[in-house]
Amino acid sequence: MEKIRHKDARPMMDLMAKKIFSDTEITAEFIRDILELPVESVKILDGTQIHVTTSKILPNFTTQVDVLAELNDKTQVVIEIQVAMQVDFIKRLWLYICEQVSQNLDEYKKDGIDTHYLSRELIPVYAVAITEENYFEDDRAIHNFSLRDSETKEELKVRVKGIEEKRNLVQIAFLELKKYKPEMKASYNKVRWMELFGNKPFTHQPGNIITKADRILDVKEWSKEDKAMFDEYTRAWDGWNAHLAYIKEAQEQAKEQGIEQGLQRGLEQGIAQERAKTINIIADLVKGGLLTKEMGASKLNISEKEFEKYL
């Protein structure tokens, strides 16, 4: 049996991840380690708010999905927790960055800054994705992408207002938890985050910040309200994962038979039997704020307009 640190904890559950990243010291250390930025302090702009809701899934509380952090030098970082495989996930992550840049520029326009000078106000927006599924074919568990020259590999960096050193225009990092191995050769400052979110035993002394984050995963120490929220969310989470497992099993069985017709029949049978249940689960998650309408429609592979009739 695979060893884990916490029997009942699920660090990749949105709710638990948000509780971890709501601590600004933890988020600052995470960004400092993964993106190797000189972070002094962090402010959480989005992703930790608790909202009242009337959802059947969460009768009292729910949380947003993504985390948006702002560093002391105004650099912004999107942190995305990704459990299920999504074909367009990397493109969606890029859209998050573009959308945030656009929102920032809109704010500058409100301040009366002339369009010609908007580029002077541009601040970097980076992203980090922690994923349970693999998106890259190699064995490396940690990837960090930026704009580079095709021959020299020199990074494309620019001067940014308020920041002394030049900065990358783009930086996107991925931590693929399935590729974790205790003997990984990457810096332990990065590996320890994979052990934290992968619920793996720590192979070295993780340090005070990781120890602090690990304590947050102990549900027994949560408030009564947060514990109730966790229990309700867990039931919804288990229902969704059971659906994913059912569909995956149908796909694998058909694939093993090596018959294209069998694959299609298996998929259709699985989808037909679980469709109504899945729609209800995802609709409740969207109503409760656990998923955006865009994400709900994407999981069902339908348009947002078509999905609206279930809300």
- Evaluate whether 255 touches 263 at the Cβ level (below 8 Å): yes
- Evaluate whether 290 touches 236 at the Cβ level (below 8 Å): yes
pTM of the model: 0.73
Residue 177: its pLDDT value, please? 96
Q: Please state, in angstroms and rounded to a whole number, the distance separating the CA atoms of residues 198 and 181.
A: 11
DSSP secondary structure code for residue 258 in this structure: T
Query: Which phi and psi (to 5°) does residue 226 adopt?
Result: -65, -35
- Evaluate whether 262 touches 256 at the Cβ level (below 8 Å): no
Burial 241-260 (b: 16+ CB within 10 A, else e): eebeebbeebeeebeeeeee
Residue 143: its pLDDT value, please? 97
Q: Which residue has the tokens 């320890």?
A: 192
Residue 152: its pLDDT value, please? 96
Residue 171: its pLDDT value, please? 96
Cβ within 8 Å of residue 99, ≥6 positions away: none
Query: Which phi and psi (to 5°) does residue 31 adopt?
Result: -65, -40
How many CB atoms lie under 10 A from the CB of residue 87? 10
- Evaluate whether 227 touches 48 at the Cβ level (below 8 Å): no
Q: Which residues, given as ranges, of the chain have pLDDT below 70? A: 1-2, 47-65, 237, 240-241, 244, 251, 254-275, 288-290
Q: Where are the domains of the chain?
A: 14-220, 224-310
The tokens of 103 are what? 């929102």
Residue 261: its pLDDT value, please? 58
How many CB atoms lie under 10 A from the CB of residue 146? 16
What does the chain come to in residues?
Answer: 311
